[in-house]
């Protein structure tokens, strides 16, 4: 049975367990003189039965689904004849994709060795039996769990306390998922990064000024692994982010100041949703706009001015990224400016300061730490932004500060290296994870710093 | 807490609720029959008037907060505004340097003149007005800058000093007048927010007089201070009354009695009685004033 | 004060300069807002001007005579022969009837350029399904070729480079006058998956893929997010673990989305061996990504429930869990729903992490389950935006409009919910 169909089945079983549990608790209560002689309400006995029916079954289902693919793959590959046994992880993924393609019919059986065809039949069989076993196991566990909980319904058991304790543990597990996610992120990048540094020295990666992972043409070529110096990528990322911040910070900050200090409530009511709309536009749309409208416009404009501009200039990507970040800067600044106590405004105005003097000399300095925090968050966002640069910035890793040149960024390279067919062990693929690690560390540092600055600022006025 | 003093708040939303509070307060208490509209007993008028205020009415939206007040404030006098919470004394005070302007729904009617010039003349410059009529607030509100920069702020924005030394002189002079110089002269660069509450309030007074205003409005300047700090501020007010016209809103009748020459009693937006301070506290003319000072309500 | 008059004079003199600054400052503010709004307007009008024609299709309607002879068919009843017949020939014959003057190889090739390369296989499918049409004449409507489509829609717009030769342009104009070439509502766009030909490409596959992915995301992230928020707000003890969880959530909310793609690739695909390009993995990745948003907004909603409600319930002996489930949760639900809808809108527009887990493949079929290969709407836009054909650019813009319509409706729903269910304390 498909897992998608198995879920509704579990739900049905859970409902049945609930109903039976409810009935049994009432039945037990009846001879005692009604439900007030039970330790808990019938609902809690029923809920407990339902929980014991559903929870273990769902856990087993999740685990099965999680490990099924890997186990079957290992079994299938392991059963291949010796000459077809892959000797590297890259070969393994190649063989595996052949097998799955044959199994799904995407690849005709005529083009592959018979052993592969055999393996693909085995794959199909294993998958079928795995599904059957999974269905049986999950249903058995659900029924058994529900039945045991049903049996244990007794007037002296305080089902409410037990139910609530379990529920609280579930809630805790959900909150703990945040830690698990962070751990997952760290582990998913750290292993591949360590392997990458086994192939390419860390110093070359961190300080090398040339990036060309695609250059290997022949295996025996000098530097066949290409060059993996991340400096040009980092500089490219910073260049585009800097352009974005040049657009976003003044525009976002001035909009926020105007909205907070000058605008009528009516104007605020109109402008704020419009700015929020700018924030709600998906990044792929900005990328489309940057690549197909802004970039040609800029190279046309530069040509008209007698300048040489690349068709994928850093300026185009940066400008559009700046527009994307405007609402981010403005809403964070807005919060911060509104947190400046009104008494400071009154104090300044009562001395005869004009409104702009009050803003420039009192409110802005007072809000500066918070605004800096907001800007740091915006920078972290610009650095991690992917789609705009994937679509509008180039792939050429030029080490330049000229905004009309084409540059590439860390995120662009991660996408380029990982999209499409990959060999899993090559330095190329591993480099993407090393870049991911770099990105994660940089943005994490920025975020922690920014959140710290903002929190300190809030404490100041609380 | 009186009407607009609560506007020392943190954000726009709260700024708006402040006015709502004032509106709801005014709504809750219907005018009593004992007060005749626009009628004040005692001596509301003076010959050498700094402020000449006639038939002043203030509205928050549809609600009237000030009901036809006429009053003269003489040059170099200290006048105290007293009255129960929500009686409009702070609202009235804030009309005098147009601090009510920043509240969108607030409208002021009537004739308000400073030295014979209309305060609410559309051509009237509010910046210039506020440079002449300074204000000290309920809660000390030093800017998050150094002590020196706080005092120098006003002279700087108005361009009152041409040289650094002139500015230094203004700062020293103002701090001396505020009786703060000896306490802070060694740490002028220290942040003002690190001072004690009483010092902060005296700093705010120094900041206000650094622009040499003609009038200083004080909106319950001691309500956030302890008795010792209050005594110091009151001493300061007595000293300042030599050179400034001071209008002080206070909750404490003792304070009004100690510092002011004249006292005005407000009730539900009406100005009930104005008289010499001694008279108000010894032989009030109006029965509402008497009820208030004898503590029958407040 | 002796010098106060002269000071008042100084103040008065400074006013002009200061008000100039004031006006300039205000002007900066207005300019900033105007710039932001202009950017929004330019963005939207650019998308609409590029994409509105994507909702129209150009069709060619021909009288096709299925003459076995020109189709190299000896036995019109033999299925094997029918399968291998020449289906281009009857189409070309029908076109040539419109322009009898055209002759020669180059002329024929030029004429053929008006037809979509998929048309002959469409005819084949028709005949194979219904061999009875052999020998008859049928009025059939085809999608025109991409070049004709661009010419018909944009012939007056100099910014488009037309690929049709002048001769072909003249023919197209003639056919338009005769009503052979016509434009109509592009139903193909909403009923098909991706295709190599812009005329046959649609967003249905991507929409279904997005819906399946979103279903996984919502089913997981809403309950988990709400449960985590309840734990942190109501049950969590003040200790280091709780602090650590909070720090984690706040930081995860700001981690670049592409990092979640790396996580999905390394954990779900490489470690667990889950298949690539499937909605389940996409949904899992987006779930992890939206979870912080949902937790943060749900916590805000729980915080806004006044303590008096809790105290009232606790006062009559309800357990902490009962207080939460019976009182706090229902009251906080509108806020939680609003936050979740906004989180889902973010997830719906997300592209980068899905590229890494392989949802970027060229997939023609509309996905039929959580484990079948699929792509999503933003990725489809990305794929089309990268193609050189103008027809795909147009469809990418049209797909953006579809995506924005979804997003705007979701946000409108969130606002409506908030307005409708908001309680004032």
Q: A125 Cβ partners below 8 Å, 6+ apart?
A: none
Is the CA virtual torsion A7, A10, A16, A18 positive or negative? negative
Do the beta carbons of residue A243 and residue A314 sit within 8 Å? yes
Relative to beta strand B245-249, strand B63-74 is: unpaired
Average pLDDT score over residue span B186-206: 91
User: Which of A167, A262, A292 lies nearest to residue C29, judging by beta carbons?
Assistant: A262
* Dist. CA B283–CA C286, nearest whole Å: 78
* Dist. CA B276–CA B261, nearest whole Å: 6
Residues of A with CB under 8 A from a CB of B: 260, 264-265, 338-354, 357, 361-362, 365-366, 460-461
CATH of domain A227-461: 1.10.3720.10
Q: Does A346 touch chain C (CB under 8 A)?
A: no
Q: Does B144 touch chain A (CB under 8 A)?
A: yes
Q: Give A235-268 pLDDT, tens digit per residue.
A: 999 999 999 999 999 999 999 999 999 998 899 9
Which of the given ranges, B80-89, B249-258, C39-48, has the highest pLDDT on average? Answer: C39-48
Say whether C11 and B214 touch across the interface (CB within 8 A).
Answer: no
* Min distance C309 CA to chain B CA atoms (Å): 23
Residue B268 tokens read as: 């539900």
Closest CA to A411 of A326, A246, A287, A289: A287
Do the beta carbons of residue C351 and residue C282 sit within 8 Å? no
pLDDT of residue C35: 95
* Dist. CA B158–CA C403, nearest whole Å: 55
Chain A: touching chains (3 or more CB pairs < 8 Å): B, C
Say whether C11 and B212 touch across the interface (CB within 8 A).
Answer: no
Say whether C231 and A424 touch across the interface (CB within 8 A).
Answer: no
DSSP designation for C357: T
Please identify every stretch of chain A with a pLDDT value under 70, giving residue numbers as ranges: 1-3, 86-90, 93, 106, 214-225, 420-425, 460-462
Say whether B145 and A365 touch across the interface (CB within 8 A).
Answer: yes
* Min distance C10 CA to chain B CA atoms (Å): 7
* Dist. CA C380–CA C383, nearest whole Å: 5
Q: Give C177-190 pLDDT, tens digit per residue.
A: 888 888 889 898 99
Write out chain A residues lying below 8 Å of B158, CB-based.
352
Only one residue has tokens 């717009």, namely C157
How sure is the predictor about B22, in pLDDT bands with cuts at 50, 70 and 90? very low
Say whether C352 and A282 touch across the interface (CB within 8 A).
Answer: no
- As a whole-number percent, the residues of chain C with pLDDT over 70 amount to 98
C209: buried, middle or exposed (CB in 10 Å: 19+, 13-18, 0-12)? buried
Residues of C with CB under 8 A from a CB of B: 1, 3-4, 7-8, 10-12, 14-15, 18
Say whether B139 and A343 touch across the interface (CB within 8 A).
Answer: yes
* Dist. CA A342–CA A366, nearest whole Å: 12
pLDDT of residue A325: 95
pLDDT of residue B168: 94
DSSP secondary structure, A264-278, as one string: -HHHHHHHHHHHHHH
Is the CA virtual torsion A98, A102, A106, A107 positive or negative? positive
User: Which of A264, A347, A366 lies nearest to residue B204, judging by beta carbons?
Assistant: A347
* Dist. CA C330–CA C314, nearest whole Å: 16
Buried b (16+ CB within 10 A) or exposed e, A358-395: bbbbbbbebbebbbbbbbbbbbbbbbbbbbbbbbbbbe
* Min distance A222 CA to chain C CA atoms (Å): 30
Do the beta carbons of residue A358 and residue A368 sit within 8 Å? no
User: Which of B128, B213, B244 lies nearest to residue C15, judging by beta carbons?
Assistant: B128
Closest CA to C188 of C29, C346, C394: C394
Average pLDDT score over residue span C386-397: 89
User: What residue segments make up the domains of chain B, in order of their start?
Assistant: 3-148+213-293
Q: Give B136-165 pLDDT, tens digit per residue.
A: 998 899 998 899 999 999 999 888 888 899
Indicate the fold that domain B3-148+213-293 takes in CATH: Rossmann fold (3.40.50)
DSSP designation for B30: P
* Dist. CA C218–CA C225, nearest whole Å: 10
Residue A11 tokens read as: 């739900």
pLDDT of residue A89: 62
Phi, psi for A353 (deg, rounded to 5): -75, 145
SS3 A322: helix
* Dist. CA A179–CA C247, nearest whole Å: 9
Is the CA virtual torsion C245, C247, C250, C253 positive or negative? negative
DSSP designation for A421: -
Is the CA virtual torsion C404, C407, C411, C412 positive or negative? positive
Chain B residue at shortest CA distance from C3: B212
User: Which of B11, B97, B143 lies nearest to residue A350, judging by beta carbons?
Assistant: B97
Say whether C266 and A288 touch across the interface (CB within 8 A).
Answer: no
* Dist. CA C184–CA B201, nearest whole Å: 76
* Dist. CA C284–CA C274, nearest whole Å: 11
Adjacent-strand bridge partners of C238: none
Only one residue has tokens 């299709």, namely C57
Closest CA to B173 of B144, B152, B156: B152
pLDDT of residue B123: 84
Q: Give B168-187 pLDDT, tens digit per residue.
A: 999 999 999 888 999 999 99
* Residue A285 host element (H or E): helix A283-289
SS3 content of chain A, % helix, strand, coil (to 5): 80, 0, 20
* Dist. CA C103–CA C101, nearest whole Å: 6
Asked if pLDDT for residue C412 goes beyond 60, the answer is yes
Do the beta carbons of residue B91 and residue B107 sit within 8 Å? no
Q: Using N-to-C axis directions, what is the helix angle for C204-230 and C377-385, rounded to 10°?
A: 130
CA distances from A309 to A275, A297, A300, A319, C132 (A): 31, 11, 8, 15, 61
* Dist. CA C77–CA C335, nearest whole Å: 67
Instruction: Give the residue from B4, B5, B9, B11 with the most A CB atoms within 10 Å of its CB, the best one to mutate.
Output: B11
Adjacent-strand bridge partners of A443: none
Say whether C10 and B159 touch across the interface (CB within 8 A).
Answer: yes
Write out chain A residues lying below 8 Å of C261, CB-based.
418
Say whether C33 and A259 touch across the interface (CB within 8 A).
Answer: yes
Do the beta carbons of residue A123 and residue A99 sit within 8 Å? yes
Do the beta carbons of residue A329 and residue A249 sit within 8 Å? yes
Only one residue has tokens 């813009």, namely C397
- As a whole-number percent, the residues of chain B with pLDDT over 70 amount to 88
Q: Give C335-373 pLDDT, tens digit per residue.
A: 899 889 999 999 999 999 999 988 888 888 888 888 888
Do the beta carbons of residue C29 and residue A258 sit within 8 Å? yes
User: What residue segments make up the domains of chain C, in order of their start?
Assistant: 4-52, 55-199, 204-421
Residue C358 tokens read as: 């392989």
Q: Does B125 touch chain C (CB under 8 A)?
A: yes
Q: A290 Cβ partners below 8 Å, 6+ apart?
A: A316, A317, A319, A320, A321, A388, A391, A392
pLDDT of residue C5: 62
Write out chain A residues lying below 8 Å of C227, CB-based.
170-171, 174-175
Write out chain C residues lying below 8 Å of B159, CB-based.
10-11, 14
Closest CA to B245 of B271, B272, B208, B275: B208
pLDDT of residue A445: 93
CA distances from A149 to A45, A140, C55 (A): 9, 14, 58
User: Which of A70, A293, A440 lies nearest to residue C46, judging by beta carbons?
Assistant: A293
* Residue C18 host element (H or E): helix C4-51
DSSP designation for A201: -
Indicate the fold that domain C204-421 takes in CATH: MetI-like fold (1.10.3720)
DSSP designation for C162: P
In this structure, the number of other CB atoms found within 10 A of the CB of residue B117 comes to 11
pLDDT of residue A423: 60
Q: Give C192-219 pLDDT, tens digit per residue.
A: 888 888 888 999 999 999 999 999 999 9
Asked if pLDDT for residue C117 goes beyond 90, the answer is no
Chain C residue at shortest CA distance from B244: C1
């Amino acid at each position: 049975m498909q897992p998608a169909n198995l879920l509704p089945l579990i739900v049905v079983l859970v409902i049945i367990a609930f109903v039976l549990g409810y009935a049994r608790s009432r039945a037990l209560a009846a001879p005692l003189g009604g439900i007030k002689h039970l330790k808990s309400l019938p609902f809690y006995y029923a809920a407990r039965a339902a929980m014991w029916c559903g929870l273990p079954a769902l856990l087993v289902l999740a685990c099965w689904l999680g490990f099924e693919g890997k186990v079957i793959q290992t079994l299938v590959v392991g059963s291949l004849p010796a000459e077809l046994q892959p000797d590297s992880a890259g070969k393994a993924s190649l063989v595996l994709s052949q097998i799955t393609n044959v199994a799904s019919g995407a690849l005709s059986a005529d083009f592959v060795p018979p052993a592969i065809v055999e393996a693909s039949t085995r794959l199909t069989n294993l998958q079928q039996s795995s599904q059957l076993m999974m269905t049986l196991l999950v249903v058995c566990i659900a029924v058994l769990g529900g039945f045991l909980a049903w049996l244990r319904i007794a007037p002296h058991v305080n089902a409410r306390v037990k139910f609530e304790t379990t529920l609280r543990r579930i809630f805790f597990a959900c909150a703990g998922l945040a830690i698990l996610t962070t751990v997952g992120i760290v582990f998913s990048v750290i292993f591949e990064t360590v392997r990458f540094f086994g192939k390419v020295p860390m110093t070359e990666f961190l300080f090398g000024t040339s990036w060309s992972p695609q250059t290997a043409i022949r295996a025996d070529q000098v530097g066949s692994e290409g060059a993996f110096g991340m400096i040009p990528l980092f500089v490219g990322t910073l260049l585009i982010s800097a352009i974005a911040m040049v657009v976003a910070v003044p525009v976002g900050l001035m909009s926020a100041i105007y909205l907070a200090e000058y605008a009528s409530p009516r104007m605020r009511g109109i402008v704020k949703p419009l700015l929020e709309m700018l924030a709600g536009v998906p990044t792929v749309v900005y990328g489309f706009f940057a690549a197909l409208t802004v970039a040609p416009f800029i190279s046309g404009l530069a040509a008209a001015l007698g300048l040489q501009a690349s068709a994928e200039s850093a300026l185009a990507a940066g400008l559009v990224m700046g527009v994307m970040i405007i609402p981010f800067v403005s809403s964070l600044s807005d919060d911060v400016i509104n947190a400046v106590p009104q008494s400071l405004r009154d104090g300044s105005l009562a001395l005869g300061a004009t409104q702009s003097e009050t803003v420039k000399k009192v409110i802005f300095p007072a809000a500066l730490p918070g605004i800096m925090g907001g800007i740091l968050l915006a920078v972290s966002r610009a650095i991690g932004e992917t789609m705009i640069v994937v679509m509008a910035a180039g792939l050429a890793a030029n080490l330049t500060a000229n905004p009309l040149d084409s540059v590439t960024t860390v995120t662009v390279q991660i996408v380029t290296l990982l999209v499409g067919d990959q060999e899993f062990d090559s330095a190329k693929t591993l480099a993407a994870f090393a870049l991911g690690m770099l990105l994660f560390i940089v943005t994490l540092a920025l975020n922690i710093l920014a959140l710290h600055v903002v929190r300190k600022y809030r404490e100041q006025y609380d | 807490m009186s009407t607009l003093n609560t506007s020392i708040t943190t954000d726009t939303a709260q700024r708006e609720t402040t006015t709502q509070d004032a509106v709801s307060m005014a709504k809750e208490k219907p005018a009593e029959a004992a007060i005749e509209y626009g009628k004040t007993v005692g001596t509301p008028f003076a010959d050498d008037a700094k402020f000449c205020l006639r038939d002043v009415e203030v509205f928050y939206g549809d609600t009237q907060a000030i009901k036809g007040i006429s009053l003269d404030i003489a040059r170099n006098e200290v006048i105290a505004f007293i009255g129960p919470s929500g009686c409009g004394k702070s609202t009235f005070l804030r009309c005098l340097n147009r601090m009510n302007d920043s509240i969108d729904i607030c409208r002021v009617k009537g004739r308000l003149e400073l030295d014979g010039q209309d305060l609410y003349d559309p051509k009237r410059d509010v910046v210039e007005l506020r440079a002449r009529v300074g204000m000290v607030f309920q809660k000390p509100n030093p800017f998050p800058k150094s002590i020196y920069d706080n005092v120098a702020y006003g002279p700087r924005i108005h361009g009152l000093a041409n040289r650094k030394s002139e500015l230094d002189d203004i700062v020293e002079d103002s701090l001396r007048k505020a009786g703060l110089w000896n306490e802070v002269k060694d740490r002028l660069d220290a942040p003002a927010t690190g001072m004690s509450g009483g010092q902060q309030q005296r700093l705010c007074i120094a900041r206000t007089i650094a622009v040499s205003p003609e009038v200083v409005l004080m909106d319950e300047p001691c309500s956030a201070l302890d008795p010792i700090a209050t005594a110091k501020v009151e001493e300061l007010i007595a000293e300042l009354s030599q050179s400034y016209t001071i209008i002080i809103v206070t909750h404490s009748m003792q304070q009004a009695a100690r510092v002011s020459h004249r006292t005005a009693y407000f009730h539900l937006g009406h100005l009930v009685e104005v008289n010499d301070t001694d008279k108000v506290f010894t032989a009030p003319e109006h029965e509402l004033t008497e009820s208030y000072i004898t503590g029958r309500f407040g | 004060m002796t010098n106060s008059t002269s000071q008042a004079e100084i103040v008065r003199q400074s006013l002009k300069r200061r008000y100039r600054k004031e006006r300039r400052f205000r002007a900066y503010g207005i300019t900033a807002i105007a710039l932001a709004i202009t950017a929004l307007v330019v963005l939207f009008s650019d998308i609409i001007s590029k994409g509105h024609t994507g909702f129209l299709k150009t069709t060619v309607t021909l009288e096709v005579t299925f003459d076995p002879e020109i189709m190299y068919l000896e036995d019109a009843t033999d299925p094997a022969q029918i399968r291998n017949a020449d289906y281009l020939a009857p189409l070309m014959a029908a076109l040539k009837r419109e322009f009898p003057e055209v002759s020669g190889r180059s002329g024929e090739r030029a004429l053929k350029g008006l037809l979509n390369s998929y048309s002959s296989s469409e005819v084949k499918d028709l005949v194979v399904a219904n061999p009875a049409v052999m020998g008859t004449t049928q009025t059939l409507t085809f999608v025109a070729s991409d070049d004709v489509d661009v010419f018909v829609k944009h012939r007056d717009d100099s910014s488009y480079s037309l690929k049709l030769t002048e001769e072909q342009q003249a023919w197209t104009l003639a056919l338009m006058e005769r009503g052979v070439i016509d434009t109509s509502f592009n139903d193909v766009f909403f009923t098909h998956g991706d295709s190599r030909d812009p005329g046959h490409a649609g967003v249905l596959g991507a929409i279904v893929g997005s819906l399946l992915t979103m279903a996984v995301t919502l089913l997981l992230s809403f309950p988990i997010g709400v449960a985590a928020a309840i734990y942190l707000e109501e049950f969590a003890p003040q200790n280091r673990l709780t602090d650590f969880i909070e720090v984690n959530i706040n930081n995860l909310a700001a981690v670049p989305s592409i990092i979640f793609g790396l996580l999905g690739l390394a954990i779900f695909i490489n470690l667990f061996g889950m298949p690539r390009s499937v909605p389940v993995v996409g949904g899992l990745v987006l779930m992890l990504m939206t979870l912080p948003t949902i937790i943060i907004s749900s916590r805000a909603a729980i915080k806004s429930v006044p303590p008096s409600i809790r105290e009232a319930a606790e006062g009559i002996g309800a357990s902490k869990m009962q207080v939460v489930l019976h009182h706090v949760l229902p009251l906080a639900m509108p806020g939680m729903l609003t936050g979740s809808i906004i989180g889902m809108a973010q997830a719906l527009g997300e592209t980068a992490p899905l590229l890494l887990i392989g949802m970027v493949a060229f997939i023609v079929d509309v996905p039929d389950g959580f484990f079948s290969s699929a792509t999503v709407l933003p990725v489809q836009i990305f794929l089309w935006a990268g193609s050189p054909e103008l027809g795909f650019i147009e469809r990418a813009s049209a797909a953006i409009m579809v995506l924005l319509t979804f997003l705007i409706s979701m946000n409108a729903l969130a606002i409506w919910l908030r307005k409708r269910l908001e309680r004032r304390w």
